[in-house]
Amino acid sequence: MKKFLNLVMFVCMVLVIGSTNISYSNEVNPVGYGNHLNKNNIVKNGEWIYYIEYENDDRLYKMNIYENKPIKVTDFAIKNLNMIGHNLYFISMLENRGIYKLDVKSMQMKKIVEGNVDYLTVTDDNMYYYKETHTGKLCSNTLDGSNEKVLIEEDVIEPIIKGSYVYYISPENEGCIYKMNLKTLKSKKISEKYTRCMNINDSYIYYSNFKGMYRMDLDGNHLVKLSDDQHIKNILVGETGVYCFKDNYIMWIRNDGEVINRYDIDQYFMSLGIIDNKINILRHNSQEYSQVYHLDTRIVEDLDIEYKKIEAINYPYVVYCNDKYELMIYNIESREKIYITDEYEQAWIRDNDLFYIGNRDRICKSSLDGENITILTNQDEAYTGKIFEDGIYYIQYKDEGYKYLKYIDFSGKDKKVILDEMEYGFSDNLFLVKDDYIYYYKDKEIYRIKKDGTEKTLITKTKKNVYEMFISDDKLVYRDGHDMYGINLRDLSVKPFIYGLQKILEVDGEYAYFIKDNLYDNIDTLCRYHLRYFTIDVLAEAKEIKVAKGYNDKVVYQAGNEIYELDLKTKENKLIIKNVSNKPYIDENKIYVKIYNDKVHLLELNFIDK
């Protein structure tokens, strides 16, 4: 019996996951299901995390998530962290064995249970733990440790408290899963299979053995095999599926059994857990002692589409071009794919309508379910265009070397020519619309013209070619060769901003994000320029920086095939997505990105806020 227990302990000891407890009323215990399995090694209270430091003999440490400075709390080895309100409960393993309670406000610590205990789970009202005796027993106790009761007088492994039941693995009964009513203390076997480790959410029990991974309901019915993988050691339950831990990566299996993706993590992490509905990875690093990394478990979606390009997003609808160059709509919630057309150039979403340049260069309109298609323009009329607040502005070729700039409103009723006989030098992409004016670049000159085609004004002549143009608030920002300039849209004055840059990535609010010219050709320097105070911040250096987006006090950017999140307050720069195969699509507070793997998947990840 002890050999069986030690075997299970051995295969589950490498990866550690925070605490999973039954329902809590106290908001400072944001742990949630999914963290039972490996001794509850990371919990959170407000701005502080409490964790077990394996690099320092299993001592308890705490760390402010904004300061990133570890502070040692105990001088003895511990396990099984449980946070209830402002009290932290844990087990002392070697010295003065028993259960301790730590008030994290006063930092006063008290021993409340004597003895060699294991598998501590604390709820709002009681503690549950396994106590080693000559037979072994599962006990309950009040939170002050004054009223211990024996629930099961035999060895148990991985007991999980769920509502009024306890679920556990019985080594005396071939490692099968049992369910016991905490009121009547009656047990019943709900699985006939040997179990190595398990976890539970509101609807299902997930468990693994040497034949694979399985799911069944809470009564042991409706058994489904999710994976044939024989090496799954740990299971973490999220809202959209389960996370299985193997060696140096996390594998996500959706509830229907499909393996969606794997997240690589290095071998130097210390603990893993769900806090605030996110996977937290606490790492040990020689340069930075410890860090907390997050992968969102609530919002992560597998869009299950193969695509060449995302055209537009209006959640839950994703408009994209598939591998056959067909225009498609994908509904994230229903997982329905809708075919629109097999010939198109561009597509946009406005409110609940889809607009696209379709077959024979015509602008078409349809509902987001692909129905009610209306043709808005004539054949061969729209070559390329842009959508703005008031309608679609598009280019039509007239004769060789000449173009029209035209406008059509969203109903298709109001259509007009704005610029006639534009020379070939007019750029299809370098025009912007702001309030009553259109700003455009042509033949080394930037112009402004009213939307009705009147009051054409030359703003400035450029020194070289203009490559990027952005409008933010009352400024038009553009790159002329290797220099960045700004035009004040109120008085049309021109001001040089930055000399010596490779590319403007984004202009958002008061900031412009750009790549600075670098003496080292293989390294990009990402910088941020304040458009009002004219200051420059150097944000990061990396290879192949392609996109940057600021939000709150953070910046998300892509470098090569990785996406990072930079905290501008703490200067913490953390990797949040690996193996990116293309430029991500950033829409409000979400990242849509394609990942390298056997099948092409699109993952939607929320930006992570601490």
Quickly list DSSP for 284-304.
Answer: E-SSSSEEEEEEESSS-EE--
- What token pair was written down for 517? 């010219």
pLDDT at 87: 94
> 108-117, 169-178, 541-550: which has the minimum mean pLDDT?
541-550
Ramachandran category for residue 304: left, alpha or beta (phi over 0 → left; psi -120 to 50 → alpha): left
Round to whole Å and give the CA distance between 105 and 125: 20
Other beta carbons within 10 angstroms of residue 395's beta carbon come to: 21
> Residue 25 class from Cβ within 10 Å (0-12 exposed, 13-18 middle, 19+ buried)?
exposed
Q: Which two tokens stand for residue 159?
A: 């007991």
Q: Could you tell me which of 5, 14, 2, 594 has the C-alpha nearest to residue 304?
A: 594
Unique residue bearing structure tokens 């406005």:
350
pLDDT at 37: 37
Q: Is residue 13 pLDDT above 50, yes or no?
A: no
Strand partners, 34: none
Using an 8 Å Cβ cutoff, are 395 and 384 in contact?
yes
Phi/psi of residue 431, each to 5°? Answer: -140, 145
Distances, alpha carbon 261 to alpha carbons 75, 337, 577, 600, in Å: 40, 21, 11, 10
Tell me if 449 sits within 8 A of 434, measured CB to CB. Answer: no
Question: Which residue, among 334, 336, 347, 354, has the nearest Cα to 308 in the 3D structure?
Answer: 347
Q: How many helices (H) and strands (E) does the chain have?
A: 1, 59
- Give per-residue pLDDT as tens, 58-109: 889 888 776 767 889 999 999 888 888 899 999 998 878 999 999 999 999 9
> What are 272's two structure tokens?
């893993």
Angle at 506 between CA 475 and CA 442, to 5 degrees: 60
Residue 135 neighbours by CB distance under 10 Å: 11
- Model confidence pLDDT, tens digit, residues 228-279: 888 777 787 766 667 777 666 677 776 666 665 566 655 445 455 665 555 5
430, containing H or E segment: strand 426-434
Q: Which helix (H) or strand (E) holds 4?
A: helix 2-11
Which tokens hold the place of 19?
């605490």
| Distance in angstroms (rounded) separating the CA atoms of residues 511 and 534 | 10
Give, as one character, the DSSP assignment of residue 526. E
Instruction: Read off the pLDDT of residues 373-423 as tens digits, 9 standing for 90 and up.
Output: 999 999 888 888 889 888 999 988 876 666 788 999 999 999 998 887 665
Residue pair 306/322 in contact (Cβ under 8 Å)? The answer is yes
Which residue type is seen at 575? Answer: L
Point out the least confidently predicted range of 13-22, 549-558, 574-583: 13-22
Whose CA is closest to 176, among 155, 191, 161? Answer: 191
Cβ atoms of residues 482 and 502 within 8 Å: yes
CA-to-CA distance for 100 and 87, rounded, in angstroms?
A: 10
Q: Does an H or E element contain 9, and which? A: helix 2-11
Average pLDDT, the chain: 79
Condensed to tens digits (0 to 9), the pLDDT of residues 442-452 reads: 888 899 999 98
The beta strands (E) that lie in 234-352 are given as 234-237, 241-246, 249-254, 259-264, 269-275, 278-284, 290-296, 301-302, 307-314, 317-322, 327-331, 336-341, 346-350
Beta strands in 85-136 (DSSP E): 87-92, 98-103, 108-114, 117-122, 126-131
What are the residues whose beta carbons fall under 8 Å from the beta carbon of 109, sequence distance 6 or more? 74, 100, 101, 102, 103
Digit-coded pLDDT (tens) for 328-379: 998 877 888 999 998 888 999 988 899 999 888 999 999 988 888 999 999 8
Q: What is the pLDDT of residues 499-509, one digit of tens each?
A: 999 999 999 88
pTM here?
0.53
- Dump pLDDT digits (tens) for 134-175: 667 999 999 999 999 999 998 898 898 888 899 999 998 999
Distance, in Å, from the CA atom of 5 to the CA atom of 155, rounded to the nearest integer, reads 9
Between CA 420 and CA 399 the distance in angstroms is 11
